[in-house]
Amino acid sequence: MLASLADAPLDDPHLVYEPKYDGIRAIVEIGPGGAVRLWSRLGNEKTNQFPEIVTALQKWGRRRKELLVLDGEIVALDDKGEPSGFQNLQGRIHVLDPTSGKGRAAEKGVRPLFAVALIAFDILRDGRIDYRTRPLTERRAALERIFARTGSPLLRISRQVRGDGRALHDEALARGWEGLIAKHADSLYKSGKRTPDWKKLKIVQEQEFVVGGWTDPRHARSYFGALLLGVYDNDDLVYVGHTGTGFTEKELARVMALVAPLEIKACPFRNRPKTNERPHWV
């Protein structure tokens, strides 16, 4: 079940509000005796990539007798133990076995080994009970009963408020969260579907950048792939990232017309970015 991007009131009594955790979506199976498996949104097994979480789940689920299936988000934790951004998980998405010491990341020693945690926000099955056919409020009650006090800092449940998300929204602004998810309190769980029962309320962060170049487009994309962006550190232009999404066809054309006549030979950034496609500088 996936959320739709939409506006929603922050004080609707039929809605519940949760932080939008910025990590990797995961379906969690805890079998009898603690047989644990993690699955990604595309149905790929992630069990081997998060051994800390698996160990914690095994320990917690050791005396369970029946299958439990949860839905949640795997997040990286900052040094205060608070959920931090998706970026800190990027290096582990593809790692087949983080303990093996094999592979590029292990060789380079660059994997930061951020602490991670599982934040469960839904329950799909507990033994013979198929919770997907039960309303969200009932699922939430079951989740809190079963998973609220795991005794492990790695195993948590999402924060959730009912009816009035204004305080949570203020907190999201103050802490720079990605946004909130607003869910219909009586909605059912629809596996694999994107539905308006869950609404994604995005928070727009602002920052002014200087365009230092662009990259060639890939495939059937027109004009350019991404803009190369920097911010000034005194007199130095420091490359800070690419952005390629968010452009309509018209906007791609307009920006290209502005930027193409300004092309120069030398990279204007203090730190030359690595790009997927050929860069052009302005």
Partner DNA sequence: TTACCGCTGG
Partner DNA sequence: ACGTAGAGTG
Partner DNA sequence: CACTCTACGTCCAGCGGTAA
Catalytic machinery residues: 20
* Span interacting with DNA, options 86-94, 113-121, 129-137, 166-174, rule CB under 7 A: 86-94
Count of residues near DNA by CB under 7 A: 56
What is the closest distance, in whole angstroms, from the C-beta atom of residue 144 to DNA in the complex? 23
Pick one of 195, 210, 268, 282: the residue that binds DNA (CB under 7 A).
195
* Tokens read off for 279: 């860069």
Closer of 149 and 202 to DNA (Cβ): 202
Strand partners, 213: 228, 281
Closer of 102 and 175 to DNA (Cβ): 102
Give the whole-angstrom CA distance, residue 68 versus residue 35.
10
Using CB under 7 A as the binding rule, the residues of this chain from 29 to 48 that contact DNA are 40-42, 44, 46
Closest CA to 2 of 183, 221, 173, 134: 183
What is the closest distance, in whole angstroms, from the C-beta atom of residue 151 to DNA in the complex? 27
85 binds DNA (CB under 7 A): no
Q: State the Cα angle at 84 between 82 and 85, rounded to 5°.
A: 170
| CB contact set of 2 (below 8 Å; sequence gap of 6+) | 41, 193, 194, 195, 198
Taking CA atoms, 182 is separated from 6, 7, 76, 166, in Å, by: 10, 9, 23, 12
Closer of 149 and 193 to DNA (Cβ): 193
226 binds DNA (CB under 7 A): yes
Closer of 149 and 194 to DNA (Cβ): 194
Closer of 102 and 270 to DNA (Cβ): 102
Sign of CA dihedral 95, 99, 104, 106: positive
Pick one of 77, 106, 238, 282: the residue that binds DNA (CB under 7 A).
106
71 binds DNA (CB under 7 A): no
* Tokens read off for 140: 């939430």
What sections of 164-220 are H helices per DSSP? 166-175
Q: Residues 16, 162: contact at Cβ < 8 Å?
A: yes
* Residue position matching structure tokens 């603690």: 34
Pick one of 63, 246, 265, 266: the residue that binds DNA (CB under 7 A).
246
Closer of 134 and 221 to DNA (Cβ): 221
From the CB of residue 260, how many other CB atoms can be counted at a distance below 10 Å? 13
Pick one of 81, 87, 149, 166: the residue that binds DNA (CB under 7 A).
87
What is the closest distance, in whole angstroms, from the C-beta atom of residue 250 to DNA in the complex? 7
H or E element at residue 106? helix 104-108
What is the closest distance, in whole angstroms, from the C-beta atom of residue 78 to DNA in the complex? 16
Give the whole-angstrom CA distance, residue 87 versus residue 80.
17
Pick one of 14, 62, 104, 166: the residue that binds DNA (CB under 7 A).
104
Q: Residues 17, 161: contact at Cβ < 8 Å?
A: yes
Site of interaction with DNA (CB under 7 A)? 2, 4-6, 22-25, 40-42, 44, 46, 86-87, 90-91, 93-96, 102-106, 108, 110-111, 193-196, 200, 202, 215, 217-221, 225-226, 241-250, 275-277
